[in-house]
Amino acid sequence: MRPTTKDLAKAAGVSLATVDRVLNKRPGVRKKTVEAVKKAIEEIGFVRNLSAANLAKSRQYRFRFLLPRRGDLFIAELRDRIFETNIGLAAEGMEITHQEISQVDPHLIAQTLLKIRRDEVDGIALMAPESPQVRDAAIRLQEKGVHVVHLISGQQKLSDMDFVGIDNHAAGATAARLIGRFVCGLQGKVMVVSETMNARDSLERRRGFDQVLTRDYPNLTALPSLETHGDEARAYEIISNMINNSPDIVAAYVMSSEARLPLNAVARQTDPQTLTVIAHELTDRTRKALVSGEVDAVIAQDSGHLVRSSVRLLRARCDKREIMRSQEQIRIEILIQENLLPAQCALRSNDHGSVANSFDD
Amino acid sequence: MRPTTKDLAKAAGVSLATVDRVLNKRPGVRKKTVEAVKKAIEEIGFVRNLSAANLAKSRQYRFRFLLPRRGDLFIAELRDRIFETNIGLAAEGMEITHQEISQVDPHLIAQTLLKIRRDEVDGIALMAPESPQVRDAAIRLQEKGVHVVHLISGQQKLSDMDFVGIDNHAAGATAARLIGRFVCGLQGKVMVVSETMNARDSLERRRGFDQVLTRDYPNLTALPSLETHGDEARAYEIISNMINNSPDIVAAYVMSSEARLPLNAVARQTDPQTLTVIAHELTDRTRKALVSGEVDAVIAQDSGHLVRSSVRLLRARCDKREIMRSQEQIRIEILIQENLLPAQCALRSNDHGSVANSFDD
DNA sequence: TTGAAAGCGCTAACAA
DNA sequence: TTGTTAGCGCTTTCAA
């Protein structure tokens, strides 16, 4: 059997309580005693039993995801993953919930944040566009003892605020490289479409995109970013205008996580098969577009990873543990027809009715 | 507080023991009683506490990875991930070890397998080329009660043997698509290099590759597979022969997980910058090649995912649980310069000396 | 077919 | 600064 705290206590010649203090770096132990215990740990090869610790603490973690209300397919994906993760981690004493927040209004978002009480939740994963109000509210929340991580679109780079999501500059650069290579030296313009350029993520993607495109592909010129503002009619109008004004468009980069509107508009205006198109995030829509050839590649961040990484981060913060930042880096996935997994995204749960306990059959 | 088994017992009007029997689907409970307990579960919203269950069981899981002895960079990666995973899961009662096996000889591998005793380990993750002897030995092992999963190169498709790894047919197809698109309509030959074509994975990759290339890129002709057999001199010889005989080679597909030899040989023979090159697996060598432009894209399976997925599978088998196959699918990653994470692969631990306990600083 | 009771390894309140 | 002790929620004998 593996040595336990009891064995460790005996080996170190101290009591269980002291062993516990050393293991958990609690104060009130003489340096000499700490050393003795540490030595004993090495000697008997002690490894603590997490299950036992968790049980004894009987600590519950309550985390809440705050996601924009908009009916975005990618957000829907995230919601499903949150739900799944909650089921999966319930048995480990976690309760992961989800709350909708305003899509745009920083005041409303800040208000929502400020209403959150310490006794409701232990941590928040926030997906909201950058703004001073929101940032301040987040800081206030942290001061109350509620941990906060920023999801995907981060608030201003503050070293003490955790961010979970892909490196958007690199994502934009990836898009540019793919377009540059796929277009095969063709001369022409590249259309860039986003939901809004008010978000940090869009700006960073654009910068990364431009950097690679201008440096490596002089045959291509990126057009100014088009903003749909999530409005279908508007999307169609600006995109068709652009296409009519610039007949030499050879590629399109759909920057925002909601690709439906831009893709639909492009499809109505041109033959997307002849256009090189890169979009973001794997949703039912982009998957379909990938399979049909309407889109050439999708740049994606795995929604499940995003959720689980956020949870791990929050949990680490609650336990005052350091995390392996490198292990929590979200990968920039390049998806084409051939490396699309059959299952991926195909198992979107439509109703959330059946909370399965592991012993259900 | 969340309801416990005690609450559940009270609510169902039975004892703790009976509750436990129902929760764990143990026999010896009247149907009516089972129903009563299940009803109570729903009513009080009971969710079992895994930590408590694990503690009470005080079950240990001992899993062993069997990897070929060869000094392959990818195998080295895997070893590092095994080591890491072991540290990470030790606190949860897992012990994950690693043993070297013969690189090629099926007899030796089978012998090694047959020597494994049920009281040593609970599960094996096996990476070995396909062969009847090995397959039989694996089946024998299963009968003894040692669970087996096949890693990367699987044995013959047996529905009752678990496989962890990418879909190699799709991986080959992905390579073909990338080459086809990157080559931009150029007419010419594609060189295909592998360590050996005796392995199921190489064969499947080749099939997927040919399928896409012949269907979609009539401008390209794939040459017969070259086999290095892990021999540097041989690799150089056959590759330089091929290059000299076919001056119209425009691309190369390095199929095996060990890309060093082929890449070095190609680099000595031609200017790899002008050649479109696709390789497999992210190692120090391929990473370098990607950054320098020597390789255009790397098709990779995440070594950490492979290890963790194997462990989850083995653990599920031990607990007689079903797993979410779709969640355990290994992604076929496409890596180019731009979406290479800075950390990825950069933190290869060189020595495995310091087994860090989580409380170490 | 069911129940009572003794732990599993650790934590935390209290005592010294 | 250190030790004693009563659980945390579940599993597992053993007995009924």
Please determine, for residue A354, whether its predicted confidence score (pLDDT) is greater than 60. no
Structure tokens at A236: 């169609």
Structure tokens at B111: 């012998």
Closest CA to A19 of A37, A2, A3: A37
Structure tokens at A175: 């898009």
Does residue A323 contact residue A138 with C-beta atoms inside 8 Å? no
Q: With CB atoms and an 8 Å threshold, state whether B337 touches A177.
A: yes
Which pLDDT belongs to residue B179?
98
Q: What are residue A164's phi and psi, to 5 degrees?
A: -125, 120
- Comparing A56-60, B97-101, B174-178, the range with the smallest average pLDDT is A56-60
Please determine, for residue A353, whether its predicted confidence score (pLDDT) is greater than 60. no
Q: Is strand C in 7 Å reach of the CB of A57?
A: yes
Domains, chain A, with CATH or none: 5-48 (1.10.260.40), 61-165+303-330 (3.40.50.2300), 168-300+335-348 (3.40.50.2300)
What are the chain B neighbours of A87 within 8 Å (beta carbons)? none
Which pLDDT belongs to residue B157?
61
Q: At what angle do helices A5-12 and A31-44 cross, to 10 degrees?
A: 120
* Residue A211 pLDDT class (50, 70, 90 cuts): very high
**Angle (CA) B113 B65 B161, round 5°:** 65
Q: Is strand C in 7 Å reach of the CB of B355?
A: no
Closest CA to A333 of A178, A153, A157: A178
The 10s digit of each residue's pLDDT in B119-151 is: 889 999 999 988 889 999 999 999 999 999 999
Smallest CA–CA distance, residue B327 to chain A, in Å, is 8
State the Cα–Cα distance between residues B91 and A50, nearest whole angstrom. 5
What are the chain A neighbours of B25 within 8 Å (beta carbons)? 359, 361
Q: Is strand C in 7 Å reach of the CB of B54?
A: no
**Mean pLDDT calculated for residue range B176-193:** 96
The 10s digit of each residue's pLDDT in B259-292 is: 998 998 888 888 767 899 999 999 999 999 999 9
Please determine, for residue A158, whether its predicted confidence score (pLDDT) is greater than 50. yes
Which chain A residue shows the shortest CA-CA distance from B336? A174
State the Cα–Cα distance between residues B256 and A23, nearest whole angstrom. 46
Question: Which of chain D's bases lie under 7 Å from a protein CB?
Answer: 1-14
**Mean pLDDT calculated for residue range A165-191:** 96
Which pLDDT belongs to residue B158?
56
Please determine, for residue B348, whether its predicted confidence score (pLDDT) is greater than 50. no
What are the chain B neighbours of A81 within 8 Å (beta carbons)? none
Helices (H), chain A: 5-12, 16-23, 31-44, 50-57, 73-90, 106-115, 132-144, 168-182, 200-216, 232-245, 260-269, 284-292, 303-318
Q: Is strand C in 7 Å reach of the CB of B58?
A: yes
Structure tokens at B139: 């089946």
Closest CA to A311 of A138, A62, A10: A62
State the Cα–Cα distance between residues A135 and A113, nearest whole angstrom. 10
- Residue B285 CA, distance from chain mean position: 20
Give me the CA B16–C1' D14 separation in Å, rounded. Answer: 15
Closest CA to A101 of A68, A76, A60, A134: A68
- Comparing A33-42, A340-349, B17-26, B291-300, the range with the smallest average pLDDT is A340-349
Q: With CB atoms and an 8 Å threshold, state whether A24 touches B54.
A: no
What are the chain B neighbours of A253 within 8 Å (beta carbons)? none
Give me the CA B13–C1' C3 separation in Å, rounded. Answer: 12
SS (H, E, C) B186-217: CCEEEEEEECCCCCHHHHHHHHHHHHHHHHHC
Please determine, for residue B336, whether its predicted confidence score (pLDDT) is greater than 90. yes
- Comparing A42-56, B101-115, B198-212, B333-347, the range with the smallest average pLDDT is B333-347
The 10s digit of each residue's pLDDT in B201-248 is: 899 999 999 999 999 999 999 999 999 998 899 999 999 999 999 989
Compute the mean pLDDT over every residue in chain A, rounded to the nearest whole number.
88
Which pLDDT belongs to residue A157?
61
The 10s digit of each residue's pLDDT in A22-62 is: 999 998 899 999 999 999 999 999 999 989 999 999 888 99
Cα separations in angstroms, B355 against A12, A86, B62, B269, B358: 20, 32, 17, 44, 10
SS3 state at B117: coil
Residue nearest C2, CA–C1′ metric = B18
Q: Is strand C in 7 Å reach of the CB of A60?
A: no
Which pLDDT belongs to residue B321?
78
Please determine, for residue A153, whether its predicted confidence score (pLDDT) is greater than 90. no
Size of interface A-B (CB pairs under 8 A): 140
Please determine, for residue A97, whether its predicted confidence score (pLDDT) is greater than 80. yes
State the Cα–Cα distance between residues B341 and B337, nearest whole angstrom. 9
Please determine, for residue A15, whether its predicted confidence score (pLDDT) is greater than 60. yes
* Residue A4 pLDDT class (50, 70, 90 cuts): very high
Structure tokens at A313: 């981060």
Q: Which of B47, B182, B357 sits opposite A357 (nearest CB)?
A: B47
Q: Which of B55, B173, B344 sits opposite A52 (nearest CB)?
A: B55
Which pLDDT belongs to residue B357?
39
Question: Which of chain C's bases lie under 7 Å from a protein CB?
Answer: 1-14
**Mean pLDDT calculated for residue range A10-28:** 92
State the Cα–Cα distance between residues B95 and B76, nearest whole angstrom. 19
What are the chain B neighbours of A176 within 8 Å (beta carbons)? 338
Q: With CB atoms and an 8 Å threshold, state whether B338 touches A212.
A: yes
